[in-house]
A = this chain, B = another copy of it.
Amino acid sequence: MRRVAVALVHYPVLDRQKSVVTTAITNLDLHDIARSAHSYGLSDYFVIHPIAAQRELAERVRAHWVGGSGARRIPDRSPALELLTIVPDLEDAIRALGEPEVWTTSAAERGELLEYSAARSRLLQPGPPVLLVFGTGWGLADSVYERATHRLEAIRSPRPDGYNHLSVRAAAAISFDRLLRP
């Protein structure tokens, strides 16, 4: 099994008008994605934020649950939050993993896509680490997709109208389950 890590990008991402923006860190994104990542055996959870004050906020949340009073109150949270590394730029996460494949995710389908079944098989073969990249806001900016080794297929809705507005917390959990469930 290849090493798999996840990155949550707060910049560059899109807003509703498809402008490139920076989003704020959401506390439950830190918790939920860390808990899902650790449950599915991922090695790292990189939170990407260009603003120092936002990174410090995330560092305080991490410290509370890894060594602070949160860790004493709910010890099960510690190993999950230990996965968290907060860095200014996606390139920092890529460097930390060596030379990983970058697999981007999207709610919309664009370009040539890697299907989940094929992706799951690839992870079972020997190869470099894989960094799964999720966007906040209205999704990753084009410059991130241009960085991708592969673009994962979208999580499609079974609804006739195709309504597909999963939270990034839900989308990450579903992706981990599709790729890594036993």
A interface list, Cβ under 8 A from B: 16, 28, 31-32, 35-36, 38-41, 74, 76-77, 79-80, 155-159, 163-167, 169-174, 177-178, 180-182
Q: Which residue of B lies closest to A159 (CB)?
A: B41
Jot down 5 A-B pairs with beta carbons below 8 A, ordered by A. Answer: A35-B165, A40-B158, A155-B177, A156-B181, A169-B170
Contact between A182 and B156, CB atoms less than 8 A apart? yes
Chain B: which residue is nearest A174 at the CB level?
A: B177
Known interface pairs A156-B181, A163-B79; A169-B32 also in contact (CB < 8 Å): yes
Q: Which residue of B lies closest to A35 (CB)?
A: B165
- Given the complex, which residues of B lie within 8 Å of A156, measured CB to CB? 181-182
Copies in the complex: 2
Q: Using A155-B177, A173-B173 as known contacts, list a sample of 5 further A-B pairs with CB atoms less than 8 Å apart, ordered by residue number in A.
A: A36-B170, A39-B166, A41-B157, A158-B182, A170-B170
A77 CA to B138 CA in the complex, in Å? 13
Report A53 CB to chain B, min CB distance, Å: 23
Let me know if A170 and B35 touch, CB within 8 A: yes
Bound complex: CA of A181 vs CA of B172, how far in Å?
15
What residues of B have a CB within 8 angstroms of the CB of A177 in the complex? 155, 174, 177-178
Q: How far is the CB of A45 from chain B (nearest CB, A)?
A: 13
A5 → B minimal CB distance (Å): 15
Residues A167 and B35 in contact, CB atoms below 8 Å apart: yes
Contact B181–A36 (Cβ < 8 Å): no
